[in-house]
Amino acid sequence: MKLSTTREALSAQLQAVTRVASTHTAVLALSGVQLHAAAGTVELRATDLEVGLRVPLEATPERDGDVVLPARLLLDVVRSLPSDAVTLELRAAEQDVEITSGGAVFHIRTLRAEDFPPLPEAPGDSTVSVPARAFVDTVQTVARAASRDETRPVLTGILVSASGRELQMVATDSYRLSVKRTELEEALEGSFEANVPARALQELARLAQGGEDRLTVGVGANQIVFQVGGAVLSSRLIDGQFPNYRQLVPESFDHELKLAGDEFTEVVRRISLLAQKNAPLRLAFVEGEVTVSAQTPDVGEARETVPVPYSGEPLEIGFNPDFLRDGLESLGGGDVVLKLINPLRPGLIEGADGSGFLYLIMPIRLNV
Amino acid sequence: MRLIVARCEVRYTGRLTAVLPEALRLVMVKSDGSVMVHADTGGYKPSNWMTAPTVIEETPDGMVVRKLRGEDRLEIRIAEVVSDSEHDMGEAAALEKDGVEAHLQEALAAAPEWCGEGFRLVRREWPTDIGPVDLMCRDSEDGWIAVEIKRIGTIEAVEQLTRYLERIRRDPAMADCRGILAAQCVKPQARVLADSRGIAWVEVDLDVLRGEREPDLTLFA
């Protein structure tokens, strides 16, 4: 294998695939990036066996072939090259790849190409084409609520449903639930529902930042494949029953308050600075106002009172500051509707403009 | 236990040869025949030692300790004795489990449902011929469940429970006995190994078990 390319092109594409390459693996090849040159094209590939990514590289292949190189090291080397023109050539006898750029020459030992698994091709005929912007925005709205706890794998995914003119995504880590319904301008030709690892969708969101109009989705029995531009991202689907989120949303709430979203988010951000070491953020509602406060022993305390249209018996409720902020930030500005029942029942955050977003959040018990 | 503080030189011969030059040291001779030579530095580990069973021979120069079988030999040449005393240590008490582990066992025995829905305790310290398993429970369908309790759930804990289960399942009446590792924190490697062996695991919070702290509020279990 031999190819010529530019430092800029190689570095940009390497950055994308390196994120997918495995960082903790017994199979060394999975920590690598595969350079695949064939039929006049070059592709970079990486996988950690859960998520796989293939991206095209603008390059001139002079000799076909495959090599696997340590992803992180290759990225660091390429970023540091002195000249824009880069040549990579496999030296089979030495079992390394020679990288030359300007006067710099690197020899990097290859990883076992046989250990690098084949990645799925681009989705075939049974695919659904969805608007990329709407898909990415929906992912970014709910992704923060997905769990990072690998002991409950079903919660590490985002339940994606697409049908007709509706795209819906749901994520929950059992402490909060995020649901976003996006109405599409045109009806989709086809439909699908799948629990996709949040990590894969966040990676897809990064890939789609390039301004592609549409992305293609192909769903198999245990795998989903996305194509955006020339990149193909594949991911295994998550097994298991996703929680029945519809029954988690209380039918009625005792208090419903319309708040200025940006202003309230800023208050929460500010006061949260003093809610450290798992300390809750306290919201004390009395007639016409709410006092947001936090206290961390040995660190300090903060409080801020803002007017809100609250009426009724005083109510004090505690939330995880990060979770509350996530919910408010996911709305992306505009007026917010905050619905509450009591200090031990979930609160609901919605956009006042009927944006199709709802965020259900469990409180934290307050000892005092 | 004999404790000798002496200026001595120690020579070991056997799988290799090692010499501790003459210096002030503590020689511990235990009643089970093991001998350890300690310096005042170097942490808990002896500078040299010989594990039991040994043959100890007193000589005019000091003592020679030999392994009952093999070529290992520890020769202690004593130049000056500072102190030589013998103490009757009595019956040794067994090692007690650390506080958290013992408290976890106590709390889970009182509330075995934290290990699984519908669990009820049959016995604490259920005996097997290689040692007792912490809890033996039955589930709602009368199935047997052996629960091993640790502060930190490690691969070794999974191995230990695997060994217990192998012994317990020899009894045809308990051939379907399941295993659960209960710990305050189960290490990722232990989770993988437990899953691969069909052993369940559960993380429990002692403060919650004791009722000192309410469990976190969640939208669903």
Instruction: Kindly state whether residues B41 and B136 are assigned to the same domain.
Output: no
Instruction: Kindly state whether residues B82 and B25 are assigned to the same domain.
Output: yes
Instruction: Kindly state whether residues B45 and B120 are assigned to the same domain.
Output: no
Does B219 contact A at CB distance below 8 Å?
yes
Instruction: Kindly state whether residues B76 and B119 are assigned to the same domain.
Output: no
* Mean pLDDT (10-residue bins), chain A, 368 residues: 96 95 86 95 95 96 96 97 97 96 97 93 80 96 93 92 97 97 94 96 92 91 92 94 93 95 96 92 97 93 96 96 96 92 96 92 86
Does A146 contact B at CB distance below 8 Å?
no
Distance from the A7 Cα atom to the nearest Cα atom in chain B, whole angstroms: 39
B76 lies in a domain? yes
Instruction: Kindly state whether residues B74 and B124 are assigned to the same domain.
Output: no
Q: Tell me whether residues B217 and A243 touch, CB distance under 8 A.
A: no
pLDDT score for B142: 93
- Closest chain B CA to residue A177: B219
Last residue of a domain, one of B63, B86, B109: B86
Phi/psi for A127 (5° steps) reads -125, 165
Rounded alpha-carbon distances, angstroms, from residue B155 to A279, B196, B205: 33, 12, 20
Residues of A in contact with B214 (CB under 8 A): 365
B215 lies in a domain? no
Total domains in the fold of chain B: 2
* Tens digit of each residue's pLDDT, chain B (221 residues): 999 999 999 999 988 889 999 999 999 999 888 999 999 988 888 999 999 889 999 999 999 999 888 889 999 999 999 999 999 887 766 555 557 888 899 999 999 998 988 899 999 999 998 999 999 999 989 999 999 999 999 999 999 999 999 999 999 999 999 999 999 999 989 998 998 999 999 999 888 888 777 778 999 97
Report the 10 Å Cβ neighbour count for B42: 9
| pLDDT tens-place string over residues B194-206 | 989 999 999 998 8
- Please give the residue range of the domain that contains residue B12: 2-86
Q: Tell me whether residues A174 and B214 touch, CB distance under 8 A.
A: no
- Closest chain B CA to residue A242: B220
CATH of the domain at B137: 3.40.1350.10
Does A363 contact B at CB distance below 8 Å?
yes
Does A364 contact B at CB distance below 8 Å?
yes
Minimal Cβ distance to B217: which of A172, A243, A364:
A364
B153 lies in a domain? yes
Instruction: Kindly state whether residues B204 and B114 are assigned to the same domain.
Output: yes
Cα gap A22→A31, rounded to integer Å:
5
B9 lies in a domain? yes
Last residue of a domain, one of B33, B53, B86: B86
Distance from the B28 Cα atom to the nearest Cα atom in chain A, whole angstroms: 46
Q: Tell me whether residues A365 and B214 touch, CB distance under 8 A.
A: yes
B103 lies in a domain? yes
Instruction: Kindly state whether residues B107 and B181 are assigned to the same domain.
Output: yes
Triad A167, A168, A173: Cα angle to 5°: 155
Instruction: Kindly state whether residues B133 and B201 are assigned to the same domain.
Output: yes
CATH of the domain at B48: 2.70.180.20
SS3 A261: helix
Last residue of a domain, one of B52, B86, B120: B86
Instruction: Kindly state whether residues B52 and B130 are assigned to the same domain.
Output: no
pLDDT score for B15: 82
Cα gap B22→B24, rounded to integer Å:
7
ipTM: 0.84
Transcribe B11-23 into DSSP letters: EEESSSEEEEEEE
Distance from the A91 Cα atom to the nearest Cα atom in chain B, whole angstroms: 38
Class of residue B17 by CB neighbours under 10 A (exposed 0-12, middle 13-18, buried 19+): exposed
Phi/psi for B157 (5° steps) reads -65, -40
Instruction: Kindly state whether residues B9 and B80 are assigned to the same domain.
Output: yes
Nearest to B219 by CA among A172, A218, A338: A172
B122 lies in a domain? yes
Does B216 contact A at CB distance below 8 Å?
yes
pLDDT score for B94: 59
Instruction: Kindly state whether residues B7 and B76 are assigned to the same domain.
Output: yes
SS3 B169: coil
pLDDT score for B216: 86
Nearest to A367 by CA among B204, B205, B212: B212
B214 lies in a domain? no
B94 lies in a domain? no
Instruction: Kindly state whether residues B116 and B61 are assigned to the same domain.
Output: no
Distance from the A326 Cα atom to the nearest Cα atom in chain B, whole angstroms: 17
Residue A145 half-sphere exposure toward CB, CA atoms < 13 A:
32
Cα dihedral sign, A348-A350-A352-A356: negative
Does B188 contact A at CB distance below 8 Å?
yes
What tokens does B186 get?
Answer: 């189960």
Predicted TM-score (pTM) of the model is 0.72
Considering all CA atoms of chain B, what is the largest pairwise distance in Å, rounded to the nearest integer? 79
